[in-house]
Structure 1
Amino acid sequence: MWFVQPKQDYIPEMPWKHTNEPALMSWQIRARNYDIFGANVLLAALTIVSLGGAYFSFDTASLVFETLLPSLLVGGGCFLFLC
C-alpha cells in the first residue's frame, strides 16, 4: 500500500552544532522520494494545449480586430483561461 514505507536509516548530511544532546539524537527528519515524472508530462501536455488554444484565438482575433494589441489580449486571455 502507498502509506507503508520501508524502514530507512537517514544519514545526517548537515553537521549540527550540539550533536551530543540526547534530545537531538532522538528524532530524525523523514522524507519520501516522490516520482513527479507523470506530473511533469501532464504539465507539458496541458501547456501545449493551452498554447495551441491561445494561438488559435490570437489568429481568429487578428482576423476580427486587425490590430496587434486586441489580438494579443484575446490570445493571452485564452491562454490564462485554459491554464
Structure 2
Amino acid sequence: MYSYYFLSALGPHMQKYLWWKKYLTRMQIIQFLSIMAYNAGLYTFNCNFPRLFMLYVIADVTLFLYLFLMFYKRTYEQKLKPKVHIN
C-alpha cells in the first residue's frame, strides 16, 4: 500500500506503472474481512482477551470495510457502465 502511495506521489508520469491499484484495494478488502473473522472467532469462543476491545476492533474494521467497498464500487464498477452524454 505504501509503495503505491510513494509511486503515485512522484507525479502523473507514474500512472502507467500503477495498474495494480485495483488489486491492492481487493487485497485490503480481503484483509479487513480476515480481521473481522478472526475477531469474531475470538469473541465467539470466549478467548482470554478483553471482549470490549474485540467489539471495538470489529466496529472499526467494519467502518473501514464499508469505506473501501464504497471506494471500490465508485472507482471500478462505475467504469463498467456506459456513460450517457446529454447534448
**TM-score of the superposition, structure 1-length normalised?**
0.40
**TM-score of the superposition, structure 2-length normalised?**
0.39
Question: Which has the bigger relative contact order, CA under 8 A and spacing at least 6?
Answer: 2
